């Protein structure tokens, strides 16, 4: 699937996690700024203890989607680390 043509990166990450191992994708709010009527959310997406990406948005949903996009774009950096850890766990 081509990266630019896929819009639901949260779903894509979830599918990857289900095929990779036993951990779940978790989104955590790292920071909130602004008044109640104009809130900005800074969110991180995690697989186990590893933060895969971060994103910002005017809603939790938008911030999570932005974090998922950032994580998917950085997959070449974090996936090898997770694969190496998985190999060590099997030894």
What is the predicted pLDDT for the residue at 7? 76
User: CATH code at 26?
Assistant: 3.30.160.20
What is the predicted pLDDT for the residue at 2? 44
Tokens of 18: 């289900």
What is the predicted pLDDT for the residue at 3? 45
Domain span including residue 67: 3-90
Ordered per-residue pLDDT tens for the chain, 91 residues = 344 555 799 999 999 999 998 889 999 999 999 999 999 999 999 999 999 999 999 999 999 999 999 999 999 999 998 888 877 776 6
What is the predicted pLDDT for the residue at 1? 37
Number of structural domains in the chain:
1
């Amino acid at each position: 699937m081509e990266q630019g043509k896929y819009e639901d990166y949260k779903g894509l990450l979830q599918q990857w996690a289900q095929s990779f191992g036993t951990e779940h994708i978790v989104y955590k709010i790292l920071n909130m700024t602004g008044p109640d009527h104009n809130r900005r959310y800074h969110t991180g997406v995690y697989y186990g203890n590893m933060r895969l990406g971060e994103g910002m948005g005017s809603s939790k949903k938008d911030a999570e989607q932005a974090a998922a996009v950032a994580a998917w774009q950085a997959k070449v950096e974090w996936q090898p680390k997770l694969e190496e850890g998985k190999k060590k766990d099997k030894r």
